[in-house]
Amino acid sequence: MNYAQTLATPETATDHQIQQNQLNLHTALPAKVVSFDPAKQTVSLAIQIKMQLVDGSGADIPPLLDVPVSFPRGGGFAVTFPLKAGDEGIAIFSERCIDGWWQNGNASTPLDFRLHDLSDAMFIPGICSVPKAIGGFFTEGLSMQTLDGGTYIRIKNGSILIKGNIEHQGHTSQTGSHSSTGVISSDTDVKASGISVKNHKHTGDSGGKTGVPE
């Protein structure tokens, strides 16, 4: 008989307790979006790694609800995008309870004694599995694009590339030349060196002025 394997000792009891504690200590797990609340910027998540039971089988971790989402922001600016069901990312789990901070936005003592708990998840979208990798990955600079690459704004060294229709509200100021292969139109007027294309006049054959263009 191997007493080291069959009899409990302080050492084996301690090891067992450490293993049990590790099973309840959560750090980060891949997850998929189930639903997205744009008003609160929270998601419901389905964790993509199953719990392993004693018999070796797997069981789903219950869905995580009201999980805050990370969007790049700071200094009065933000980058936002909608999240859809099936979008992948990583759920990270806070060391302590985040409820007080999350509800009022101020420093808070933990409202619960839980540690590394599934209840204190935060979601970083974008980390994905191989089947969800971005196709035709742009390697020459920064790209902000649709996943299919059909519409994009790309910044390369010394140039910006845009593909797609543009709607602009506000004034436009440009230094340098402008060229176009399409039609340039205006609902009001176009001026060149202060001269109106719509209302300018020419000197007539008889010395007078012509009418405005029609």
| pLDDT value of residue 187 | 85
Residue 31 has pLDDT above 80, yes or no: yes
Q: Which residues contact 24 (CB under 8 A, 6 or more apart)?
A: 116
Domains in the chain, ordered, with CATH? 27-133 (2.40.50.230), 135-165 (no CATH)
Which tens digit of pLDDT belongs to each residue from 150-176? Answer: 999 999 999 999 999 999 999 999 999
Which of the two residues, 40 and 208, has the higher pLDDT score?
Answer: 40
1 pLDDT higher than 50: no
Given a contact cutoff of 8 angstroms between Cβ atoms, the answer to whether 198 and 191 are in contact is no
Q: Rounded to whole angstroms, how far apart are CA atoms 214 and 119? A: 70
Q: Are 121 and 64 in contact (CB under 8 A)?
A: yes
pLDDT at 192: 80
pTM: 0.80
Which carries the bigger pLDDT value, residue 194 or residue 168?
168
Convert the pLDDT of each residue in 115-132 to its tens digit: 999 999 999 999 999 999
Cβ-contact 118, 66 below 8 angstroms: no
Q: Evaluate if residue 16 carries a pLDDT over 80.
A: no
CB burial of 184-196 (b: ≥16 within 10 Å; e: otherwise) equals eeeeeeeeeeeee
The conformation of residue 4, written as its DSSP 8-state character, comes to H
The CA distance from 89 to 27, in Å, is: 14
Phi, psi at residue 95, to the nearest 5°? -65, -35
C-alpha dist (Å) from residue 119 to 42, 85, 168 = 13, 20, 43
